A and B are shown apart, each in its own frame.
Chain A
Amino acid sequence: MTATPAPAPSFPHRHLLGIEGLTAAQITQVLDLADGYVEHSRRPERKSDLLRGRTVVNLFFENSTRTRTSFELAGKRLGADVINMEVQASSVKKGETLIDTAMTLNAMHLDALVVRHAESGAVKLLSDKVNCAVINAGDGHHEHPTQALLDALAIRRRLGRLEGLVVAICGDILHSRVARSNIHLLNAMGAHVRVVAPPTLLPRAVERMGAEVHHTMKTGLKDADIIMMLRLQTERMSGQFVPSIREYFYFYGLDYDKLKVAKPGALIMHPGPMNRGVEIDSEVADDHKRSMVLDQVELGVAVRMAVLDLLTRPARAASAALSGFAP
């Protein structure tokens, strides 16, 4: 494949730190571009040289094989040099590492920095200190924008639209960056969002973000088109936020019985990794007609390719201008 000569319209944000603040048109721009990359990724020859000579660093302060691999594949399929850095936040004094690492990486002239961190706002802090594009791969309980974008792409490819759909996000909303990014995105795109959880797993004033609050699956899933299940972390299961796994699964675990009130054929999503028998029943999780979990994984790579493409456009345009009509 040859390098794209005509510069495509650029994206008006330097970084992708969150979905909050993106317009429907900007979200659509990412999704449209990602659609193209889905087809591209399905070809036998998947590699492009769009980002040849560009450097993308995956800087992960928190373990995540899935997201890191997805970003790594996305960068490599675009021809970039991708470097993975895993920093154990516990091994060095917290905070210092973040700024110091940012300054160090900045001195190495990167094109894009993909960051995951356990603290909300850490990626924003880092983005203030570097010159390259920064992509938030999940910061604390704040946002995980590429997850919401890939969820949206998955829905759009199955149902053709997002507008007007009833989407129920179920489980640990309180600690979920996926939920927050999805609430922003689905609202921007005109979907109707519900959050379904016990009050101990709901943040205050979540309704003001544009989500209808439900405390039971029966009302929360009623006539839903899409059911998004969230992972409940083990350490939160025994008495701190919910009394036990048994009780949580009984009331909030997704099984065929609870699914009955949803729209016939309602689709099920999960950002992974799933806790079978905690938030989701194994049978439902493996139901190929309803579960979109594998679609989500596939589309994740395409969405991240689209984001890398968009955010590196200004830098690529600048170097194209510099090199003039170089062959």
Chain B
Amino acid sequence: MIAAPLTPPGRTAYINARLLDPATGLDAPGALLTEGARIADVGPRLFADGVPSDVKVVDLAGKALAPGLVDMRVLITEPGGEQNETVKSAARAAAAGGVTSVVCLPNTDPVIDDVAGIEFINRKARDVKQVKIYAYGAATRGTEGREITEMGLLANAGAVGFTDGSKTIASAGVMRRVLNYAKVFGRPVIQHPEEPTLASGVMNAGERATRLGLTGIPREAEIIMIERDLRLVEMTGGRYHVAHVTTAESVDVIRRAKARGLAITCDTAPHYFALTENDVGDYRTFAKVSPPLRDEMDRRAVVAGLADGTIDVIASDHTPRDQDQKRVPFSQAAFGVIGLETLLPLTLELAHKKAVSLLDALACVTCRPADILSLPAGRLAVGAAADLVVIDIDVPWTVDEDAFLSKSKNSPFGNRPVQGRAVRTIVDGRTVWTRQEG
């Protein structure tokens, strides 16, 4: 390494760590050395003979040290919705959740569909200096689903992928062009898969919606859109990623497509493997999400998809909404839940329940999203950015919305008992957040 940082290259040794590196399958006691912003060394035998005296020592006392989380689906409502969340508040929430890289959706006001929009986020992120914030560029102008954006210029400005975010690219003709054109710039196209003419409801179509007198969104709305898109992917050879898979059939369709060699990826969000439509209960608007919470069979299929690797990534789909948007009748309430601060414990829940191995679960929130978006993150590798999280894997705690650092509190997980949380978050070798005990 010939890194010549402007500030003195502070060296810090994290010793007595349980090293967890999903990319290499490493799960062993050991130590990690950071030098400036980078990982200088890592391994089970590092500092076996003691730490040099000029190195600052942090004794982790057996706690886990893993790559900082990469959350590839976060809505930061700045600009245009600063009452819900700002780049600053989202960055704080991310740091508290052990997330060191955030990728934000273009569904702001105005929409991030030009270079100025990307640069706005880049500038805000630099000012905040807490975690790394990347942005997607809109796939179509104004996310209106008609004209494609300046993807090349957006990519040059730093857009890590193209998506209309929480809106579906509904027209097959437009989607074909988006997939075709994005190829040139090597960025994936991320789709919110819902056939809009079928998805006009407010919760999953089924007995629960019928009893509550709410309009249903059938599962087929999602399945149909994924199936259509897969045809277009085969036709164009574009890079395609399906956001928040929620139904059993969606998982099946993707599993089969991967089996026949299609280079596609997908993610799901914790609420789709941790909750079902029953959690809507008596019109709980905090359980109103898009796509909607499905039934128990779907939930299990999503867990199975994570277990066998069909689902590559877990993303929080963090969507901050203030009281005014949620304390209204269910049909009028905004979709979305926050998730930056619950992504890690809910992902760990899969491992605690032995549904998915610990390293596989962590891969879903570290190296895999980093690889899909070509981000320099998600690994405990020498030379890589020292973006790390110290995790107390087994500590039991109860989710408390009021303790969230996110500006909005719309979490459906309030009062849920969980296990494991971030206790220290490190970005570019610098500790950006530490959990205060008690």
Interface residues of A (CB under 8 A from B): 20, 94-96, 98-99, 117, 119-122, 124-125, 139-143, 177, 180, 203-206, 208-209
Q: Which of B37-45, B91-99, B206-214, B254-262 contacts A (4 or more CB under 8 A)?
A: B206-214
Measured in the bound complex, the distance between the Cα atoms of B215 and A119 in whole Å is 11
Using A96-B324, A121-B283 as known contacts, say yes or no to A203 and B210 having CB atoms under 8 A apart: yes
Closest to B283 in A: A121
In chain B, positions 341-364 with a C-beta closer than 8 Å to chain A are none
A96 to B327, CA, bound (A): 8
A180 & B324 in contact (Cβ 8 Å cutoff): no
Contact of A121 among B216, B282, B324 (CB under 8 A): B282
B332 located at the interface, meaning its Cβ lies under 8 Å from any Cβ of chain A in the complex:
yes
Say whether A95 contacts B329, CB under 8 Å: yes
Please state if A177 and B213 are interface contacts (CB–CB under 8 Å): yes
Take A121-B282, A121-B283, A208-B207 as given contacts and tell me if A95 and B213 are in contact as well, using a CB distance cutoff of 8 Å: no
Interface size on B, residues (CB 8 A): 21
B282 touches A180 (CB 8 A): no
A180 with B213, Cβ < 8 A, contacts A95-B324, A204-B205 known: yes
**Set A94, A142, A204: member contacting B328, Cβ < 8 A:** A94
| Contact status A94-B213, CB under 8 Å | no
- Complex Cα–Cα for A20 and B208 (A): 12
A140 CA / B210 CA spacing, docked (Å): 12
> Given A94-B332, A95-B324, A119-B331: A143 and B283 within 8 A (CB)?
no
Contact in complex: B211, A20 (CB < 8 Å): yes
B330 within 8 A of A: yes
CA distance A245 to B426 in the complex (A): 67
Using known A-B contacts A139-B213, A140-B213, determine if residue A120 contacts B330 with beta carbons closer than 8 Å. yes
* Residue of chain B at shortest CB distance from A123: B329
Given contacts A99-B327, A119-B332, A209-B207, contact A125 B283 (CB under 8 A): yes
Among B211, B332, B333, chain A packs the most CB atoms within 10 A around the CB of: B211
Whether the Cβ atoms of B329 and A125 lie closer than 8 Å is: yes
Assembly CA distance A117 to B329 (angstroms): 10
Leading 3 A-B pairs by shortest Cβ distance: A95-B328, A142-B213, A121-B283
Residues of A contacting B331 in the complex (Cβ-Cβ under 8 angstroms): 119-121, 140
Q: Which of B207, B210, B329, B332 has the most CB of A within 10 A?
A: B329
Question: In the bound complex, do residue B207 and residue A121 qualify as a contact, i.e. CB atoms below 8 Å apart?
Answer: no
Complex interface: chain A residues within 8 A of B212 (CB): 120-121, 142
| Least CB distance, B226 to chain A, in whole angstroms | 21
User: Is B332 a contact partner of A180 (Cβ separation < 8 A)?
Assistant: no
A124 to B331 Cα, complex, angstroms: 13
Interface residues of B (CB under 8 A from A): 205-207, 209-214, 216, 218, 282-283, 324, 327-333
Q: Is the CB of B213 within 8 A of A143?
A: yes
* CB-based nearest A residue for B204: A204
Known contacts A124-B283, A205-B206: A95-B211 contact under CB 8 Å? no
- Nearest-neighbor residue (CB-CB) of B331 within chain A: A119
Contacts of B209 in A (CB 8 A): 203-204
Complex Cα–Cα for A172 and B213 (A): 13
Most chain A C-beta atoms within 10 Å of own C-beta, residue among B210, B213, B331: B213
A124, B330: Cα distance in complex, Å: 10
Centre residue among A95, A117, A139 by max chain B CB count within 10 A = A95
A206 to B331, CA, bound (A): 20
Once A95-B324, A96-B324, A204-B205 are accepted as A-B contacts, the answer to whether A121 and B210 lie under 8 Å apart by CB is no
Inter-chain contacts of B218 with A (CB < 8 A): 204
Q: Are B210 and A95 in contact (CB under 8 A)?
A: no
Q: A124-B282, A180-B210 provided; 10 other pairs, C-beta below 8 A? A: A95-B324, A96-B328, A99-B327, A120-B213, A140-B214, A140-B331, A142-B213, A204-B210, A204-B218, A209-B210
Chain B positions within 8 Å of A125 at CB level: 283, 327-329
Looking at A94, A121, A140, which has the most chain B CB atoms within 10 Å of its CB? Answer: A121
B contact residues around A122 at 8 Å (CB): 329
CB distance from A173 to the nearest CB of B (A): 9
Q: How far is it, in angstroms, between the C-alpha of A255 and the C-alpha of B214 when the chains are bound?
A: 32
Q: Is A120 a contact of B214 with CB atoms below 8 Å?
A: yes
| A183 CB, nearest partner CB in chain B, Å | 10
Residues of B within 8 A of A206 (CB): 210
Closest Cβ–Cβ distance, residue B61 to chain A (whole Å): 45
Instruction: Name 17 interchain pairs, CB-CB below 8 A, sorted by A.
Output: A20-B211, A95-B327, A96-B328, A119-B331, A120-B283, A120-B331, A121-B212, A124-B282, A124-B283, A139-B213, A140-B329, A180-B213, A204-B207, A204-B209, A204-B210, A205-B206, A209-B211
Q: How far is the CB of A182 from chain B (nearest CB, A)?
A: 13
Q: Considering the chains assembled together, what is the distance between the CA atoms of A208 and B277 in angstroms? A: 15
- From B206, B328, B329, contact of A120 by CB (8 A): B329
Residue of A nearest to B284 (CB): A121
Neighbouring A residues of B214 by C-beta, 8 Å = 120-121, 140-142
Q: Is the CB of B206 within 8 A of A95?
A: no
Q: Look across to chain B and name the residue whose beta carbon is closest to the beta carbon of A122.
A: B329
- Cα distance A139–B330 when bound, in Å? 12
Knowing A139-B213, A180-B211, A205-B210 touch, does A121 contact B205 (C-beta < 8 A)?
A: no
